[in-house]
Amino acid sequence: MKKNDRNRKNMPKSAVSDKVLLKRLRIKFCLVMMLIVVAFLLVVFSAQYISNKNTMATENKKALESALQRFEKNNSRGQGGNENIPGGFPGGFDNNQPPQDNWNDNDQTTQDNGKENSPNTGEGGSDSDKQDDRKGFRYNNEEMADFRNHGEMNELSKVPVLCVLRNSEGNLIVERNDIFFIENEDSETLVKAADATGKKTGVLSDYKIRFMKLELDGGNCAYAFADISSEIKLLNSQIIKSIWISLAVAAVLFVLSILLAKWATRPVERAFSDQRRFIADASHELKTPLAVIISNTDMVVKSDDLSDKNKRRMDNVKAESARMKELVQELIDLARGEASGNKVSMEEVNYSDLLEEDTMGWEAPVFDAGKSLITEIEPDVVVKGNRDKLRQLADILIDNALKYSSPASEITVSLKTKDKGKDKRSVILAVKNQGAALSEEEKTKIFERFYRSDESRESTPGYGLGLSIALQLADLHGGRLSVESCEENGKTYNIFKFKMYK
């Protein structure tokens, strides 16, 4: 795990081609757009969910408070409830049948009103009197609302409520039961559950019931329970609908964000294209004059008309012209690579044989520099790629190691394969050289064009384009180029790795 984290940390972050940079810019643009959309939808639907939840909770609490106020009012008048719970409790009867006394009182009231309002008597027969009589209808000494008065009915709570009174003797009396799926006998379970919470109000999650408790005079205690199952169902339905709406909106905006990303990055893409064209054109324009300068310099140096001092001057001109030619060639290679994209021909290449041939050509320059070249090449490693480009990539890495390795040190070139499972194998070309360890900042910037990390690199011939070209070649083969530093036997090493998949 630590090794993977280290490799990920050493992976060049800024070392990307223009094509990859554009792709990353578009991805970041889309991600930012989607994050904004998701955050907006989350805020909107969360606010709606919380608002609906609070509204329904408030309505339930109002219904419970109203029921308890009725208890408190009746208790102050010394009135009891409607029904004792049967089965061990005194005086039980059918809950669907209201108290007989109340019905008798109401029947008597109805008869009296009928006599007073009878057309035969000729007294008190106006419509207003009839409405007043209807509005005066009472149940258990509580005035009932007129359903034809819309304002009054809107203010009336329609939440199903179960009202239970526990008297001083500990008996439970059901005063009201609007919850159809709860039997009166179940009220004892709900009362015990409410008492177990130790609170005056709360929610019984196991029963999907909200309760409120009120201590009355004389040792009585009133309980009001409201059904919240429909509330939970509505809220869950709202969550599911919000998710589907969010997915639909996100899908539409994702497509739009892709189109917007292409439109927004078009000026950047055009700038990169103009830059590549300028580099390619300028390099080609410089190549021909440089060839003429070098050719004429060779002719002058070989002539006998120059003094020794002028010959040395011409040698300097020739050397600097050669360096300029090298820079121009590197710029041309860089421009060609960016212009060609992935259009180079790919074929099956024996990478092992290619590296064996290439390293043989580097033995003499390495020996002349007072260093040694060690190869650890796994045989018969075959990859799909461009032979010339793969050789060029290896040459850049070996040349970089030769330039910046310590005096009288070793340069190791290795080629190994690693099984990744499911018939997938990675091929790793590693060039290792002894030298000062690169810092984390240098590891991320060393693949940038014209980057020169320290004084030692400034004094070394080169223009800082080699590793940029190598990165481009690695990207061309669908691989990854990275660098890491390590310490072995008190010596520090830098290892450049090119990884691709077979």
**Residues 336-385: tens digit of each pLDDT:** 666 555 567 889 999 999 999 999 989 998 999 999 999 999 999 999 99
Residue 12 confidence class, pLDDT cut points 50, 70, 90:
very low
Residue 404 confidence class, pLDDT cut points 50, 70, 90:
confident
| CB-CB contact of 483 with 438 (8 Å) | yes
Query: How would you list the strands of the sheet with 491-501, edge to edge?
Result: 372-377, 410-419, 425-434, 491-501, 480-488
3-state helix, strand, coil in the chain (%, to 5): 55, 20, 25
* Domain 265-340 = CATH 1.10.287.130: yes
Query: How would you list the strands of the sheet with 209-215, edge to edge?
Result: 83-84, 172-177, 161-166, 221-227, 209-215, 201-204
Helix (H, G, I), strand (E, B) or coil at 183: coil
The answer to whether residue 420 scores a pLDDT higher than 60 is yes
Helix (H, G, I), strand (E, B) or coil at 431: strand
Enumerate the domain spans of the chain: 21-95+156-263, 265-340, 344-501
Share of the chain above pLDDT 70, in %: 70
pLDDT of residue 5: 46
Tokens for 455? 């004084």
Indicate the average pLDDT of the chain.
Answer: 75
pLDDT of residue 25: 83
Instruction: Report which of 223, 163, 227 is spatially closest to residue 199, judged by C-alpha positions.
Output: 223
pLDDT of residue 145: 44
Burial 282-306 (b: 16+ CB within 10 A, else e): ebeebeeebeebbeebeebbeeeee
pLDDT of residue 428: 92
Q: What is the pTM of this model?
A: 0.47
Helix (H, G, I), strand (E, B) or coil at 244: helix
pLDDT of residue 258: 87
Q: What is the mean pLDDT of residues 422-443?
A: 84
Tokens for 406? 């310590």
pLDDT of residue 320: 75
Dmax (CA) for the chain in angstroms is 153
User: Of 124-133, 215-224, 284-293, 391-400, which range is least confident?
Assistant: 124-133
Start-to-end CA distance of the chain, whole Å, equals 24
pLDDT of residue 498: 93
The answer to whether residue 112 scores a pLDDT higher than 70 is no
Q: How many residues does the chain have?
A: 502
Share of the chain above pLDDT 90, in %: 14
* Domain 344-501 = CATH 3.30.565.10: yes
Q: Whose structure tokens read 């002028």?
A: 310
